[in-house]
Amino acid sequence: MKVISAEILEYSRRLDGRSWNPVSRWTERRAPLVVLHSDGGETGIGEGWSQQAQIGDGLAALVGCVDSSVVGRTFTGEDAIDALAARRSDASWPMAAAASAVDIALWDLLARSRGEPVWRTLGGRSDRVRVYASGGLYRDGDGLDELRAEIAGHLRAGFRDVKIKVGGQPLVLDIERIRVARAAIGADAALWVDAVNQLSAADAIAHAGAYRDAGATALQAPVPFEDIATMAALTRDVLPVVAAESAFAAREFEALLHGDAVGYLQFNVGLCGGLSGASALAGAAAARAVPVTPQVHATAVLQAAALHFGAARAITHTVEYHRFHDHLAYLLPAAARTVREGVVALGNAPGLGLMAPALGAQPDGSVLRLHRTL
C-alpha cells in the first residue's frame, strides 16, 4: 500500500455562542483533517485534535508530518503504521495531533485495501460498542426544563447513559442539574459529570461527594491533570475519575495509571497517537485492570475512529458519542448513527465507513476548505 498523494483540509463551523462549558464558549468549531490516497485507488481520512485558537499550528504540523513521513512511502501493514505513531513527538500537541491524524487515515486506508472494517483490522471480534450521549452544556437562557428535554431526546435516540457539564456555576445549581439528569435516565443508567478541570484541590472532595449523592456515577476532569494526588483520593474515596482527554505524552498517562488516579483512562485518538497510540494505552491500562474510554469532541472522523477502536478493544468501557459537537455527522454510515439500548453495531463497511467529504459548504452550514495538496 503506497501513499501517492494527500490533502490537508480545514473544517470550520460557526456556532451561536449560547452554549458553553466552564472554560469555553462555543462560537466556532475548527478541526484539521487529512485525506490520503493509495496507488490502489483507496482513500483514508484522519483527524487531529486542535486548540481552537491555534489551529494554524495544527495544520502546519500536519503538512510537515504528511510531507516528510507519508507521501511516496509504502506501508506494508500494521507494523509500519505503528512505527509512524511511535515516532510522534511528545514535545507539543501539534506534532502529536498531526501524527495521530495520519495514523487514523492509514488504518482507514489499510482496512479499505483489505475490504474490511477498521475494527476488524485492529483485531476486534465484534462490531458492537457501548456509547454514552455527551451533552448537557450550559446554554444561555436555558434551565432545568431544557436540560430535561435534551436528555429525553438522547433516550429517544437509543442512548441509556449520559454525560453533562458541572463546575461552571454554583454547586447548588449543578446539583439540581444532576438530579434532573438522574431522574430522566433512571436509577440503573450511568451518569457522568465533567468539571473540565475547574475544581480546586481544596473543594474537589466535597463537590464530588455532592455530585455522587445527587446521582453521578463518575467524574471527568475534576482538577488539573497533573494533580495526581487529588484524583487518586477522589477515585479511592468518592467517585471514579475519568482522565485525561487533552494528554498526549506517554508519561502523563503512565502517571495516571501508576498513581491509581483514574477509574477510567480517557484519551482522544486524535491526540494520543491515533489508533496505534490508543491501542498501546489500552494495553497499559489492561495491565492495571483499568478500563478505557475514548473521548470525542469534533467531527465524524474522530467519532468513527473512536467507535471502531472501542469495538476492537475489550478493555473499552464506553465511547463518548457527542451530541453537541456532532459536526459532519452525515458522513457517518447509517450503522454508526444508530444507537439501540446504548450500543452501536458498526457493521462491515470497509475502513471507517465514512463517505468522502466534499469541499466547500456543508449541509450543516459548516465549510471544508483545502489547505494544502501534497
**Distance of alpha carbon 122 from the chain centroid:** 18
Contact 44, 351 (CB under 8 A): yes
pTM here is 0.96
Strand partners, 168: none
Q: What are the percentages of helix, strand and coil residues in the chain, rounded to 5?
A: 40, 25, 35
Q: Regarding the domain with residue range 120-345, which homologous superfamily does it belong to in the CATH classification? A: Enolase-like C-terminal domain (3.20.20.120)
Domain range list for the chain: 3-119+355-373, 120-345
Q: Judge whether 3-119+355-373 and 120-345 match in fold.
A: no
**Distance of alpha carbon 187 from the chain centroid:** 26
What percent of the chain has a predicted confidence (pLDDT) above 70?
Answer: 98
Helix (H) or strand (E) holding 56: helix 55-69
Contact 93, 267 (CB under 8 A): no
pLDDT in tens, 96-120: 999 999 999 999 999 999 999 999 9
pLDDT in tens, 30-87: 999 999 999 999 999 999 998 888 889 999 999 988 887 789 888 877 776 776 766 6
Give ∠ CA 248-249-253 in degrees, rounded to 5: 90
What cell does 14 get? 460557526
Burial (CB count <10 Å: 0-12, 13-18, 19+), residue 170: exposed
Give ∠ CA 374-52-171 in degrees, rounded to 5: 155
Domain 3-119+355-373: CATH class, spelled out: alpha beta
**In the chain, where does DSSP find H-type helix?**
55-69, 78-86, 93-114, 118-121, 144-156, 171-185, 201-214, 228-237, 250-258, 274-287, 300-312
